[in-house]
Amino acid sequence: MLFSGIPFLFYFLPAVLLLYFLLPKCCRNGVLLASSLVFYAWGEPEYVFLMAGTIVFFFLMGLAMERWPRAKGWLLGLSVAVAIALFGVFKYAGLFHAPWKLPLPIGISFYLFQTLSYAVDVYRGEVAAQRNLVDFGAYVAMFPQLIAGPIVRYVEVAPQLRQRRTNGADFTRGLRRFLVGLGKKVLLANQLGAVCSAYQEAAQPSVLFAWLSAIAFTMQMYFDFSGYSDMAIGLGNILGFRFPENFDYPYLSRSLTEFWRRWHMTLGRWFRDYVYIPLGGNRCSMGKWVRNLLVVWALTGLWHGAGWNFVLWGLGFGVLLGLEKLFPKLRTLGWAYVMPVVVLSFVLFQAEGIGQAMEAFGRLFGLAGLPLSTVETVFYLRSSAVLLGLGILGVTPLPKALWKRWENSPAMTVLEPVVLGLLLLVCTAYLVDGSFNPFLYFRF
């Protein structure tokens, strides 16, 4: 079930909110867990048992680590081994040509990282083990951030599981954030994705069309994923939770180091806290630091997908980030260096394999025998000019700054609900029309 889908918007979500706010507060985590399992089972009923088993296993591991502290190292090792085994069976079997091929469970990369962080934090003594299975299940399966994050550490949400406040201001703020995210997804990401699809189906591809598609995909990735993060954070506000931010205008970064501090921030923090620092971080010899950096970025690539192009994508960023630290003058090149690298990296990211990626690079740099431009290319450049302009505007803080400037004016009391209502209406019209509506991170 997609957030940007009619069943979720007009059936599932209203029913859940009705139950959530009508029943006593002591029932809310139960409602959240039950509705999250229904949400997950809607698309993959066979894998809801995998999720339930994961919840029970890590719940018991947390209790066992507190009950038998001398064995907690072994118990943590078992927890990590089970998570790696699940990743291997369901996500990476094809990478090593295993004899089986199973559909990838939606959201497995997110909920396994959350349960792993829980196990590690209990092992470290940073948080007490959860003793209520319903509360723990609500944390792991929570539908607002189940399929696309943000990756929420248990220590961040544990107090909110016990007690949280919900009021009109939180509800309104959450609804606004959700609808803005819905608009980014449906009106920008989906339309940019349609431009990429037009290129892939073009009768007359060209070098210029290849660059248009690469730039459109780079914008699509941002609006698709950040739009979903906005919807998740907004739903969290409505339900009384505070989720961490996941994006901070990454396309304004002046170095790749800065870019990865702004893009998918919860994933970056997870790898920093649970892989990079435990390996020694940068407080070690040069050789070990290089090893730590490459391990983290190889794993980052693998987390995104079971393909060697993802490994190459991750290692490429690891090498470039290392060069930035060794040669700080690279950062003086600023945005003009960062964005071409990001666009080209997403060409590799988008490909189905290294061979397809090499073919795509050949088209971009005129090595595939394509003309510079065609009549079809000019048509799509003209027809997508407004969309690209809105995309460029949308990756900057300007829309938010304008909103902040006007939000307290008396006119906004009337205009805000009208604008948000129109936004929902337009998004609904696009969805009813059956327009292009994928979600890129379902692949990961």
Q: CA–CA distance from 245 to each of 152, 248, 443 (Å)?
A: 10, 8, 22
Token digits for 344? 């080209």
Please confirm, yes or no, whether 97 is among the known catalytic residues: no
CA quadruple 96, 100, 104, 108: dihedral sign: negative
Annotated catalytic residue: which of 304, 305, 338, 394?
304
Residue 211's φ and ψ, nearest 5 degrees, are -70, -40
Residue pair 273/251 in contact (Cβ under 8 Å)? The answer is no
Q: Which DSSP helix (H) or strand (E) runs through 198?
A: helix 190-200
| Cα separation, 145 vs 156, whole angstroms | 14
| Cα separation, 351 vs 366, whole angstroms | 18
Q: Residue 292 half-sphere exposure, CB side, CA atoms within 13 Å?
A: 19
| Cα separation, 355 vs 352, whole angstroms | 8
| Cα separation, 52 vs 55, whole angstroms | 5
| Cα separation, 185 vs 222, whole angstroms | 9
Q: CB count, 10 Å around CB of 4?
A: 24
Judged by phi (left if over 0) then psi (alpha if -120 to 50, else beta), residue 103 lies in: beta
DSSP codes, 287-311: HHHHHHHHHHHHHHHHHH-SSHHHH
188 class by beta-carbon count within 10 Å (0-12 exposed, 13-18 middle, 19+ buried): buried
The torsion defined by the Cα of 259, 212, 207 and 382, in degrees rounded to 10, comes to -150
First to last CA, the chain: 16
- What's the one-letter identity of residue 160? Q
The gap from C-alpha 58 to its chain's centroid, in whole angstroms, comes to 23
The residues annotated as belonging to the active site are 304
